[in-house]
Chains A and B, each alone.
Chain A
Amino acid sequence: MEHRSPVVRYLGTLLTYAAVVAGAVVMLVPFLWMVNASLMTPGEIQARPPVWFPAEPQFNTYARLVEVMPIFRLYGNSLFVAIATTVGVLFTSSLAGFAFAKYDFPGKNVLFVLILATMMVPFFVTLIPVFFIVRQLGWINTYQGLIVPGIISAYGIFLMRQFISTLPDELLDAARIDGASEPRIFYSILMPLVTPALATLGTFTFIASWNNFLWPLLIATDRDLHTLPLGLNALRTFAAEARNLDLLMAGTTLSVLPALILFIFLQRYFVKGIALTGVKG
């Protein structure tokens, strides 16, 4: 082992902490400033040099916000769309993943290659045609228009197939000998075993759907169907002037907060999921 004087080692540790803390401060300041500004008066926001904290927190900004931004409706829509999309993706992905991992059927390899191929297709390639299909179905300004095109995920099918492949066949065969039907094997043997993979795929799908902007922008022109990003976008155009910056920041705070809180609780699934799906190179 090399020998370093304690002074050098102490200095190294100090620099490490300095860099990590400085970075973390940069990451946090925008969020803190967002919350602070939402509680300031417009005068305080525009004061130069800047004031860091409101003299008196203006909680009534949030009361005023509710009048211009239907925040509870937005929460409800976002939550409903994200949950429905997630449940759909989990269901279709585990069904198809199960079939591809544990069954033999004519055409299986061709179909699986098809799924791998669609995995490489970015969303913008299908955007216009899918919009057209959804419009032909009469699904503009409907929840199914927001949800149904998102409930199939080639990536999700692939991920579930990979995970299910690692489960031993003996478990399924044992259930068959006991007389279980194939659907029954799916929901009472397989589903409990794949919960870790479902948790990972589910959290990713939920967040992606929750944050999605472009698709709802095309489908939900009616304010009653707006999701959070759409509501924030509407607030952005409404509250563009300086005197409404407090409202804009209050709206931003309310749209950002749920995902952040959810993340803090579910972060181990994210970190595990990224390690699982990310480092395969």
Chain B
Amino acid sequence: MKMARVTPAYEGPPRRFGIRWTPRRQRTFWAYVFVSLPLLGLLLFFVGPIAFGLWVSLNDWNMVTPVTQMRWRGLDNYVYLLTRDPIFPRAMANTFAFAAGGVTVNVVLGLSLALLLNQSIRFKPLWRVLYFLPVMTAPLALAVLFGFLFNRNYGLVNDFLVSLGIARQPFLSHPDQALLVIIAIAIYQYVGYYIVIYLAGLQGIPKELYDAASVDGANAWQRLGYITLPLLKPVTLFVVVTNTIGALQVFDIVFATTGGGPANRTMTVVLYMYDTAFKFSRMGRASAMAFILFLIILIITLVQLRLLRDRTRG
């Protein structure tokens, strides 16, 4: 209780359903009413499904036979995926290559552009909006657009290569190039997000630090290396982790450009899970994939929390 309550003299709190409704009880009652609906949804669409999915991953199930008649498989689905499945390791490798490639390039690109935009430069809001536009665009639409731009015969990218004297490339239909193109699409789509995050981070660095360093004779590169970059470390940790987690779940871009091909060279975990579940009706195996990837994401999240805690302690 924050403040003394002045209650006018009256015959005590009202009674209803055999309960004395003190103000405190009334508030508790309403608090439960307020959380009940969101909590019900949370149970029905998150907590319940997680438990159910975990159970499905230990069974063979095609979603047609009744839930009670699933065939128990124990850890077989997991063992199969990790040791015998011909595609899953490939899908994992592709997914990690996609995440690592896209995030690394975007950290460098996003930070560089944020440093440039943080200077006294004209039309700052305009540049920010332009760089941010693809972030707002449906990944599916970008996939369609870039499928066109990277087309072998009438894509702009190949026209550009030809103007440089380089032969036309197959890009999305080439086993070694397709994943790189998909990474390029993701870089294009998300670089604006990194820029905005880094700009906010840069604005959080006290100006006095730079003034003091200048007085001490530090040049621009030294100020960048000794002040800006070290102080941006938490921001970098944040963008790297959140974007890695996001990138590990890539689906739309791959679905609409290559569908996982050629020869599964762009197959990703979520796309493979989708195919396994909704094309081949192997719910158990697909659920096991989901939990393997989930475990990896969980480890990344926990490492991030650990690193952040160490920073605040140290």
A binding-site residues for B, Cβ under 8 Å: 1-2, 16-17, 19-20, 23-24, 26-31, 33-34, 37, 45-46, 48-50, 92-93, 95-96, 98-100, 103-106, 108, 111, 114-115, 118, 120-130, 132-133, 135, 149, 151-152, 154, 157, 169-170, 173, 176-177, 182-183, 186, 207, 210-211, 213-214, 218, 228-229, 232-233, 236, 242, 245, 248-249, 252, 255-256, 259-260, 262-264, 267, 270-271, 274-275, 278-281
| B209 at the A interface (CB under 8 A) | no
- Cβ contacts under 8 Å, B196 to chain A: 270-271, 274-275, 278
Question: A92 to chain B: closest CB distance in Å?
Answer: 4
Contact B56 A128 (CB under 8 A): yes
Which of B39-59 touch A at CB < 8 Å?
A: 39, 41-42, 44-50, 52-53, 56
| B230 at the A interface (CB under 8 A) | no
Q: Which of A23, A114, A126, A233 contacts B140 (CB 8 A)?
A: A233
Given A173-B3, A263-B133, are A122 and B238 also a contact pair (CB < 8 Å)? no
CB nearest neighbor in A for B200: A275
Task: List 19 A-B pairs, Cβ < 8 Å.
Answer: A17-B121, A23-B131, A24-B130, A27-B134, A27-B192, A48-B154, A49-B162, A95-B35, A115-B42, A121-B46, A126-B50, A130-B49, A182-B26, A213-B139, A218-B278, A259-B137, A263-B132, A279-B200, A281-B238
Question: A193 to chain B: closest CB distance in Å?
Answer: 16
CA distance A85 to B237 in the complex (A): 31
CA distance A249 to B148 in the complex (A): 9
- Cβ contacts under 8 Å, B303 to chain A: none
**Contacts A128-B56, A274-B196 given; 6 further ones with Cβ under 8 A?**
A16-B121, A30-B188, A103-B31, A120-B298, A129-B49, A267-B128
B binding-site residues for A, Cβ under 8 Å: 2-3, 5-6, 23, 26-28, 30-32, 34-35, 37-39, 41-42, 44-50, 52-53, 56, 63, 112-113, 116-117, 119, 121, 125, 127-134, 136-142, 144-149, 153-154, 156, 159, 162-163, 188, 192-193, 196-197, 200-201, 204, 214-215, 217, 219, 234-235, 237-239, 242, 245, 249, 251-252, 255-256, 270, 273-274, 277-278, 283, 286-287, 290-291, 293-294, 297-298, 301, 308
CA distance A48 to B200 in the complex (A): 44
Question: B37 to chain A: closest CB distance in Å?
Answer: 6
Contact B34 A123 (CB under 8 A): no
CA distance A233 to B312 in the complex (A): 47
Question: B251 to chain A: closest CB distance in Å?
Answer: 6
Question: B230 to chain A: closest CB distance in Å?
Answer: 14
- Cβ contacts under 8 Å, A280 to chain B: 238
Contact A278 B131 (CB under 8 A): no
- Cβ contacts under 8 Å, A31 to chain B: 133, 145
CB nearest neighbor in B for A275: B200
Given A103-B31, A182-B30, A214-B251, are A120 and B2 also a contact pair (CB < 8 Å)? no
Contact B37 A46 (CB under 8 A): no
Contact A281 B237 (CB under 8 A): yes
CA distance A118 to B48 in the complex (A): 11
Contact A30 B121 (CB under 8 A): no
Contact B116 A16 (CB under 8 A): yes
Given A29-B156, A255-B141, are A103 and B28 also a contact pair (CB < 8 Å)? yes
Contact B193 A123 (CB under 8 A): no
Contact B249 A95 (CB under 8 A): no
- Cβ contacts under 8 Å, A262 to chain B: 136
Contact B119 A16 (CB under 8 A): yes
- Cβ contacts under 8 Å, A281 to chain B: 234-235, 237-238, 308
- Cβ contacts under 8 Å, A50 to chain B: 154, 156, 159
Given A124-B293, A249-B148, are A98 and B119 also a contact pair (CB < 8 Å)? no
Given A152-B38, A173-B2, are A27 and B133 also a contact pair (CB < 8 Å)? yes
Question: B108 to chain A: closest CB distance in Å?
Answer: 13
- Cβ contacts under 8 Å, B137 to chain A: 211, 256, 259-260
- Cβ contacts under 8 Å, A45 to chain B: 154
CA distance A264 to B132 in the complex (A): 10
Contact A213 B138 (CB under 8 A): yes
- Cβ contacts under 8 Å, A274 to chain B: 193, 196-197, 200
- Cβ contacts under 8 Å, B136 to chain A: 207, 259-260, 262-263, 270
- Cβ contacts under 8 Å, A207 to chain B: 136
Given A50-B156, A278-B238, are A169 and B2 also a contact pair (CB < 8 Å)? yes
Contact A105 B49 (CB under 8 A): no
Contact A248 B148 (CB under 8 A): yes
Question: A151 to chain B: closest CB distance in Å?
Answer: 7
- Cβ contacts under 8 Å, B41 to chain A: 92, 151-152
- Cβ contacts under 8 Å, B117 to chain A: 20
- Cβ contacts under 8 Å, A129 to chain B: 48-50, 52-53, 56, 287
CA distance A122 to B23 in the complex (A): 40
- Cβ contacts under 8 Å, A245 to chain B: 148, 154
- Cβ contacts under 8 Å, B134 to chain A: 27
Contact B42 A152 (CB under 8 A): yes
CB nearest neighbor in A for B34: A99
Contact B39 A242 (CB under 8 A): no
- Cβ contacts under 8 Å, B35 to chain A: 95-96, 99-100, 105, 111
Contact B28 A24 (CB under 8 A): no
Contact A93 B48 (CB under 8 A): no
Contact B130 A27 (CB under 8 A): yes
Contact B121 A20 (CB under 8 A): yes
CB nearest neighbor in B for A137: B44
Given A30-B188, A133-B45, are A183 and B308 also a contact pair (CB < 8 Å)? no
